[in-house]
C-alpha cells in the first residue's frame, strides 16, 4: 500500500500567517500538491495534517484530516502514530510532502517512490549551485558538489519511519526533515535530484514568485 502525508500544520512565522491557506489562482496553496498526489491514482490513503480542528471545515477534498503538533517533526510523528493506529504495516510506503511546495510533479513522485521501494528511504533534493561555507567559529569552504539540499517529497518504508521517530523521542533528537530520522538508524537513503522547479513558499517574496510562475503557465510545462 502507498500512503501520502501532506504536512500543512505550520503557522508560517517567517511568512506572517498560514501560507498554506493563501488563495492563489482561485484556490488555496495546499490544493496544488494535493491534487497532484490525487491525480497519480497510486495512493490508497492521503492524510492532510492541519494546525487545528477549526481548519477541517476549510478542506473540501475527500482526504483524512488530523491535527499536527508545534514543530514539523512533531506533526510528522503524530501522522506516523495515526498511521500505526489505523492499520498501516511495516512494508507500506509512506510519502511525506510539504504542503507549501506547490510544484510537485507526478514524475517526481514516481521516481522517489521507486527509489524508496529499493532502498527503504529516499528523498528529493538538489545539489547546491552556490558556493557553500560552514559558518562556525571559523569559516570552512565545503565542496558544493557534495552538498545536497533536501526537499520533499521523502518516502519511507513505514517500519523505518516509525523506528526513526521512536528513537528521536527516546534520544531527544530534533531535526527539520524526516530523512535525518532514518539516517541515524543506519539506513542509506537514496538521493533523487529534483529536475523540476520544486520551490518552497517560506516568505511573502516566495508567494509573489509562485504567483508569477503560475501566471506564466509553469504548471503545464512541468507536468
Ligand atoms: N509544518 C507542519 N507542522 C508544523 C510546522 C510545519 O506540518 N508544526 C509543515 C508546514 O505547514 C509546511 C512544511 O511543514 O508545509 C514546511 O515547513 P515551513 O516551511 O517551515 O512552514 P512553517 O513552519 O509554517 O513556517 P515557519 O517555519 O516560518 O514558521
Ligand atoms: Mg517551520
Domain ranges of the chain: 2-222
CA of 72 to the centre of ligand 2 (A): 6
Among protein residues, the one with the nearest Cα to ligand 1's atom 1 is: 10
pTM for the predicted model, two decimal places: 0.97
CA of 211 to the centre of ligand 2 (A): 21
CATH superfamily label, 2-222? Spore Coat Polysaccharide Biosynthesis Protein SpsA; Chain A (3.90.550.10)
The residue behind cell 561555507 is 133
Q: Which residues line ligand 1 (CB under 6 A)?
A: 7-15, 20, 49, 68-72, 75, 98-100, 200, 202
Q: Which residues of the chain are modeled with pLDDT < 50?
A: none
Q: Strands 45-50, 2-7: parallel, antiparallel or unpaired by DSSP?
A: parallel
Which tens digit of pLDDT belongs to each residue from 15-30? 999 999 999 999 999 9
pLDDT of residue 217: 82
Among protein residues, the one with the nearest Cα to ligand 1's atom 6 is: 10
Q: Output phi, psi for 2, to 5 deg.
A: -110, 130
Which residues are CB-neighbours of 25 under 8 A, at least 6 positions away? 211, 214
Among protein residues, the one with the nearest Cα to ligand 1's atom 16 is: 98
CA distances from 201 to 12, 48, 51, 98, 108 (A): 10, 18, 17, 10, 18
pLDDT of residue 222: 63
| Rounded-to-5 percentages of helix, strand, coil across the chain | 40, 25, 35
CA of 10 to the centre of ligand 2 (A): 6
Q: Strands 23-24, 27-28: parallel, antiparallel or unpaired by DSSP?
A: antiparallel
Q: What integer best gives the mean pLDDT of the chain?
A: 96
pLDDT of residue 129: 95
Whole-angstrom Cα distance, residue 220 to residue 223? 6
Amino acid at each position: 500500500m502507498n500512503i501520502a502525508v501532506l504536512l500543512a500544520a505550520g503557522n508560517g512565522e517567517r511568512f506572517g500567517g498560514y501560507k498554506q491557506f493563501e488563495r492563489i489562482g482561485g484556490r488555496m496553496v495546499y490544493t496544488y500538491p494535493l491534487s497532484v498526489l490525487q491525480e497519480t491514482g497510486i495512493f490508497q490513503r492521503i492524510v492532510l495534517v492541519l494546525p487545528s480542528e477549526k481548519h477541517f471545515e476549510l478542506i473540501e477534498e475527500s482526504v483524512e484530516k488530523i491535527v499536527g503538533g508545534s514543530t514539523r517533526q512533531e506533526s510528522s510523528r503524530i501522522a506516523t502514530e495515526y498511521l500505526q493506529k489505523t492499520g498501516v504495516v511495516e512494508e507500506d510506503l509512506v510519502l511525506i510532502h510539504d504542503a507549501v511546495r506547490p510544484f510537485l510533479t507526478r514524475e517526481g513522485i514516481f521516481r522517489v517512490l521507486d527509489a524508496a521501494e529499493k532502498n527503504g528511504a529516499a528523498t528529493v533534493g538538489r545539489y547546491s549551485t552556490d558556493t557553500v561555507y560552514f559558518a562556525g567559529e571559523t569559516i570552512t569552504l565545503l565542496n558544493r558538489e557534495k552538498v545536497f539540499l533536501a526537499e520533499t517529497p521523502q518516502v519511507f518504508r513505514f517500519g523505518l519511519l516509525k523506528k526513526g521517530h521512536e528513537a528521536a523521542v527516546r534520544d531527544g533528537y530534533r531535526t527539520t526533515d524526516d530523512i535525518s530520522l532514518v539516517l541515524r538508524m543506519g539506513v542509506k537513503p537514496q538521493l533523487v535530484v529534483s529536475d523540476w522547479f520544486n520551490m518552497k513558499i517560506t516568505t511573502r517574496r516566495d508567494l509573489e514568485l509562485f504567483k508569477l510562475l503560475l501566471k506564466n503557465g509553469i504548471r503545464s510545462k512541468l507536468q
